[in-house]
Amino acid sequence: DAGVTQSPTHLIKTRGQQVTLRCSPISGHKSVSWYQQVLGQGPQFIFQYYEKEERGRGNFPDRFSARQFPNYSSELNVNALLLGDSALYLCASSLAMGSSYEQYFGPGTRLTVT
Amino acid sequence: GQSLEQPSEVTAVEGAIVQINCTYQTSGFYGLSWYQQHDGGAPTFLSYNGLDGLEETGRFSSFLSRSDSYGYLLLQELQMKDSASYFCAVRAYGGATNKLIFGTGTLLAVQP
């Protein structure tokens, strides 16, 4: 069975630009969460979506937005990129809200902002 | 606010037992998860404690004490492949929100 997939793998953007990251969850999983991981730190929670609705939001500015599609795939958008947005962006899926303690992570998208 | 504390680094030898502690401060606590992350890889789920007590999964065990806001991950019969970062994560809720909050991680180095 395919795991969580993310695209692109790597991305280089310039300050002020916008970026869209994509995630496909494991088949049958209805919840998708997004995390930002800076080198040497734990993943920081950005969003959780379940059944196409936002169910959780971390302490990130409004420049960060996301959505979930009917097929449960998801996109994370970041506007007006800053140097500090450079990080590994991880997507994770879980069966449902109640099982969100057990999340399956994708390989991540490495975003570099110059 | 919410915070989790773990030791930053732990070193042990092959075959030994190591315990990684995690203390947390959070509102709306559901339970405590543990994840392993190898360098350059994605975090992988190890275990979850929703209730007080010990959960055992092969060489790994995890413990939770809600009254002490404390948990630990116990790794037995250490192998070189266990060298990785280990994160505790709190499943927390607040109003209509649901989130998984990760600690800063413990880097485990297993030596021969």
Average pLDDT score over chain A: 93
pLDDT of residue B7: 96
What parts of chain B have a pLDDT lower than 50? none
Cβ proximity of B70 and B82 under 8 Å? no
For residues B104 and B106, give the distance between their C-alpha atoms in angstroms, rounded to a whole number.
Answer: 7
Q: A-side interface with B, Cβ within 8 Å? A: 33, 35, 41-45, 48, 55-58, 90, 92, 97, 100-108
Q: Which residues pair with B21 in a beta bridge?
A: B72
Neighbour count for residue B111 (Cβ, 10 Å) = 11
Average pLDDT over residues A8-37: 96
pLDDT of residue B100: 83
Chain A residues touching residue B44 (CB < 8 angstroms): 105
Average pLDDT over residues A11-23: 98
Band the pLDDT of A75: cuts 50, 70, 90: very high
pLDDT of residue A27: 94
SS (H, E, C) A37-75: ECCCCCCEEEEEEECCEEEEECCCCCCEEEEECCCCCEE
b/e per residue B47-84 (b: at least 16 CB within 10 A): bbbeeeeebeeeebbbbbeeeebebbbebeebeeebbb
> Nearest-CA neighbor of B12 among B86, B87, B89?
B86
Q: B-side interface with A, Cβ within 8 Å? A: 30-31, 33, 41-45, 48, 50, 87, 89, 91, 96-105
% pLDDT > 90, chain A: 81
Tokens representing A66 are: 């996301």
Place of tokens 């959505």: A67
Which of B45, B48, B98 is the closest to A48 by Cβ? B98
Chain B residues touching residue A36 (CB < 8 angstroms): none
Search chain B and give the residue with CA nearest A97.
B98
pLDDT of residue A74: 98
Average pLDDT over residues A39-60: 91
